[in-house]
């Protein structure tokens, strides 16, 4: 399994790249985890966006789903051959209406806006589903809106992705024993940070240690914070390898290749 970082800027797209979006290739299966601002452009550099098998949206904040409307345009109006079937989109329960609202040309036309010709929406629940050659487990995580983390498994390789979350037991279990943990680390461990919103670098490192993962990749660092300070915090809390996510970087996910 190969994880490609399409975008990793936290909360907004940054000067160095798009907001959250990650391509997972496992055998012949291609999945995207989140699809924030600028991700469609980055995806196009790595594969045909029309070749995706599914999209998984952790939650519906714009930095995790804004480019879904651009993907809808491509799937509906792009050059032939266009896909015959809608793309499966596994997302929180309001995804169909929220993305239709973002796509609608005006408020008056919102009621008639329908994306079902390009997307087949599957509301997420805390369960495991089969998507192509992958087994995908979703779990509710600690964020102010309906939000999920994901565990993707393929032929013994395990990738865990926190989505946006504060510390919680569910994300520890989701990441348990993962070869690669892709963890949000929005900010350094500063006093008086909002509760139940995001992880600091220290908390991401503590998560990796508690879950016993092989490798930690830090993502979703807000561009106004010092990413290397966040990295140093995580390394102080977790003895295994820790890296910063970077647009275009590839990570091989598997017991023999994750170190």
Mean pLDDT of 180-206: 96
Among candidate residues 170, 249, 167, the one with its CA nearest the CA of residue 204? 167
What's the confidence (pLDDT) of residue 256? 62
What percentage of the chain exceeds 70 in pLDDT? Answer: 98
pLDDT confidence of residue 255: 80
pLDDT tens digits along 65-114: 999 999 999 999 999 889 999 999 999 999 999 999 999 989 888 888 99
183 with 162: CB under 8 angstroms?
A: yes
pLDDT band per the 50, 70, 90 thresholds, residue 258 = very low
- 131-183: per-residue pLDDT in tens? 999 999 999 999 999 999 999 999 999 999 999 999 999 999 999 999 999 99
Task: Output the average pLDDT for the chain.
Answer: 96
| pLDDT band at residue 259 under the 50/70/90 scheme | very low
The CATH architecture assigned to 2-252 reads: 4-Layer Sandwich (3.60)
Q: Which of 19-23, 76-80, 196-200, 238-242 comes out lowest in average pLDDT?
A: 76-80
Residue ranges of domains in the chain: 2-252
> What is the reported pLDDT for 108?
86
What is the rounded distance in angstroms from the CA atom of residue 56 to the CA atom of residue 37?
A: 15
């Amino acid at each position: 399994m190969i994880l490609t970082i399409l975008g990793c800027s936290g909360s907004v797209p940054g000067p160095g790249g798009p907001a959250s979006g990650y391509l997972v290739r496992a055998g012949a299966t291609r999945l995207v985890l989140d699809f924030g601002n600028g991700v469609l452009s980055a995806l196009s550099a790595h594969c045909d966006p029309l070749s995706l098998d599914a999209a998984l949206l952790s939650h519906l904040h714009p930095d995790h789903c804004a480019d879904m409307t651009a993907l809808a345009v491509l799937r509906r109006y792009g050059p032939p051959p266009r896909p015959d079937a809608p793309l499966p989109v596994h997302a929180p329960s309001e995804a169909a209406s929220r993305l239709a609202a973002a796509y609608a040309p005006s408020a008056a036309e919102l009621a008639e806006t329908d994306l079902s010709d390009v997307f087949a929406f599957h509301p997420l629940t805390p369960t495991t589903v089969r998507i192509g050659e992958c087994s995908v487990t979703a779990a509710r995580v600690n964020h102010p809106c309906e939000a999920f983390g994901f565990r993707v498994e393929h032929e013994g390789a395990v990738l865990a992705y926190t989505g946006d979350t504060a510390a919680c037991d569910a994300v520890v279990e989701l990441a348990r024993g993962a070869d690669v943990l892709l963890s949000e680390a929005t900010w350094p461990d500063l006093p008086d940070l909002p509760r139940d919103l995001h992880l600091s670098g220290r908390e991401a490192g503590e998560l990796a240690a508690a879950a016993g993962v092989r490798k930690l990749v830090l993502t979703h660092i807000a561009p106004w914070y010092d990413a290397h300070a966040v990295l140093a915090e995580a390394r102080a809390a977790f003895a295994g390898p820790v890296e910063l996510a970077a647009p275009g970087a590839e990570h091989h996910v598997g017991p023999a290749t994750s170190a």
